[in-house]
Chain A
Amino acid sequence: MRAADPDVKSSKNQQIPRLPEQTPQEKIALYRTMLLIRRFEEKSKQAFTQGKIKGFCHLYNGQEAVAVGTISVLNEDDAVITAYRDHGHALARGVDPNACMAELFGKITGCSRGKGGSMHFFDAKKHFYGGHGIVGGQIPLGTGIAFAQKYLDTNRVTLAYMGDGAINQGAVHEAMNLAALWKLPIIYIIENNEWSMGTSISRSSAGDPLTKRAGAFDMAAIQANGMDLDDVRAKTFEAVSLARTESQPTLMEIKTYRYFGHSMSDPGNYRKKEEIEERRKGDPIELYKARLIEGKIATAESLEAIDAEVTEIAQESYDFAEKSAEPEIETVFEDIFAPEDQIFEFRPEPRY
Chain B
Amino acid sequence: MSAYQGDFLKEVEARVEEGEWVKMCMQCGVCAGSCPFGPHWEHSPQKIFMMIRAGKREEVLTSDAMWMCTSCYNCVVRCPRKLPITQIMHGLATYAHRLGLAPKMQPTRRFSVTFWSNLTRTGRVNELKLVLQVYFRNGFAAGLKEFWNMRRVGLRLLAAKRMNPFELVFPHRCKDAKGIQRMLAKACEIENRKRGFSQ
Q: Are A and B subunits of one complex?
A: no
Contact residues of A with B, CB < 8 Å? none
Contact residues of B with A, CB < 8 Å? none
